[in-house]
Amino acid sequence: MRFIFKTDYVQDIRLAKHGGHHFWYSALLIAMLAAPWIVSEYWLAQLTFILIYSIVGLGLMLLAGFTGLFSIGHAAFLGVGAYTQAVLTNYGMPFPLALIVAGALSAAVGMVVGLPALRVKGIYLGIATLSFGFIVEEVFARWESVTGGNAGIHIKSPNMFGWTLDSGEEFYFLCLVLTVVATLLILNLLRSPTGRAFVAIRDSEVSAQSMGIHLARYKTMSFAISAALAGIGGALYAHKLQFISPDQFDILQSIDLLLMVVIGGLGSVHGAFLGAIFLISMPQVIALSKDHLPTVVAQAPGLQGLVYGVVLIAFVLFEPLGLYGRWLKVRTYLQTFPFYRRGTFKRQKAFQRSDRLR
């Protein structure tokens, strides 16, 4: 058990609260920096995808996990970012500029989609964002002069100031830098009044309003930031795949993204990363285990969908706090061994909630 002696309020504001944080996050960063020399090219590509999905996951976590607004059309923002990046890069715009435009355009679209969020809640917002996702996918398919329609569109390697990042390693480092920056910005947001306003809206709108929080403004803001991160993730996604088509941004992609934050653990920044690791490694695990399964099962179509479904149901039933929640329990168990009690993380149900029907 670690005891922290606090002598200054600044200690509570710091991102790294104690030596353990410094040590483990430095170790993680060094491992990530060394990865290109350690793992094979294939696994480095998977690692790159994890980073890209983490950026998108951070955005969705902010929206769903911290503001309590569920979006079932998040692939649309991913797509807006990806197509913007593809079109602008092919026009010869340098990478950083194109990335900023891709993020900004996604944010603008996010603000528009956020408008129904000011009126509808819960499942109804889910339906609104879902239909938005279909509309955007349709636009990608039909607006052929720009998007290339269903035939898709190729995208050149990222290029900035005469330097072309065409190797897997270079692109990996680019994604790593952007992921670290995005994480730090989100952590900053969450330790400041804006982030707390989001949490307030998630937990009680009536109360947030009576504390002087402008609901419409903060909900729109949350949608915009979330969409911007999805757009940036989408731009990197487009570069990584070098080819995009509308069917990559369909409802299945949206559900994957939502699955990612739910399984990772709603309401925790770690959850976005754990969810991304889960989402990328799961198909690999399934593929690897196919060799050891009876042929009837291994060759069955829809095996992956089945496994995902079962895992999601299992998480909702047994571990609503997701992978991060499970990790917290394991850590607490080890720290307090042998005094851990099963009920430690049980929360009293809040009855009498004014907006429980949302």
Partner 1 sequence: MTEVLLSARNLSVRFGGVLAVNGVSFDVKRGEVFTLIGPNGAGKTTVFNLISRIYTPTTGEIEFEGRKLSALAPHEVAKLGIARTFQNIELFEHATVLQNLLIGRHTHRETGLWSDIFFTPRARRAEVAAREKVEQVIDLLDLQHHRESLVAGLPYGVRKVVELARALCTEPKLLLLDEPSSGLNVEETDDMVFWVRDIQQELGVTVLMVEHDMSLVSKVSDRVLAMNQGETIALGTPREVQADAGVIEAYLGSVDDVSGLRRAA
Query: Contact residues for partner 1 (CB under 8 A)?
Result: 9-10, 12-13, 185, 188-189, 191-197, 199-200, 202-204, 206-215, 221, 267, 347-348, 350, 352-354
Which residue's CB is nearer to partner 1, number 144 or number 355?
355
Output 94 or 267, the one with its CB closest to partner 1. Answer: 267
Closest approach of Cβ 311 to partner 1, in Å?
24
Count CB atoms within 10 A of the CB of residue 278: 22
Provide long-range contacts, Cβ within 8 A and 24+ apart, for 87-93.
87/146, 87/147, 87/153, 89/155, 89/156, 89/158, 89/159, 89/239, 90/153, 90/154, 90/155, 90/156
d(CA 96, CA 112): 25
Nearer to partner 1, 56 or 213 (CB): 213
Minimum Å gap between C-beta 18 and partner 1 is 14
Cβ 316 to partner 1 shortest distance, Å: 17
Q: Which two three-digit tokens encode residue 180?
A: 């670290």
Is the sign of the CA dihedral 345, 348, 349, 354 positive or negative? negative
In whole angstroms, how close is the CB of 261 to partner 1 at the nearest point?
15
In the complex, the smallest distance separating the C-beta of residue 199 from partner 1, rounded to whole angstroms, is: 5
Nearer to partner 1, 164 or 192 (CB): 192
Task: Report in angstroms how near the CB of residue 219 gets to partner 1 at its nearest.
Answer: 12
DSSP letters of 122-133? HHHHHHHHHHHH
Q: Which residue has the tokens 């330097």?
A: 163
Strand, coil or helix: 204: coil
The set of long-range contacts for 36-43, using a CB threshold of 8 Å and a minimum separation of 24, is 36/168, 36/169, 36/172, 36/173, 41/168
- Looking at the Cβ atoms of 194 and 281, the one nearer to partner 1 is 194
Nearer to partner 1, 43 or 340 (CB): 340
Q: Which two tokens stand for residue 165?
A: 């990042």
CA angle 90, 183, 106 (to 5 degrees): 40
Nearest CB to partner 1, comparing residues 225 and 279: 225
Provide the minimum distance between the beta carbon of 223 and partner 1 in the complex, in angstroms, as a whole number: 13
CA distances from residue 27 to 224, 263, 300 in whole angstroms, order as listed: 33, 25, 41
User: How is residue 162 written in tokens?
Assistant: 């005469």
Nearer to partner 1, 138 or 203 (CB): 203
> How far apart are CB 335 and partner 1 at their closest, in Å?
16
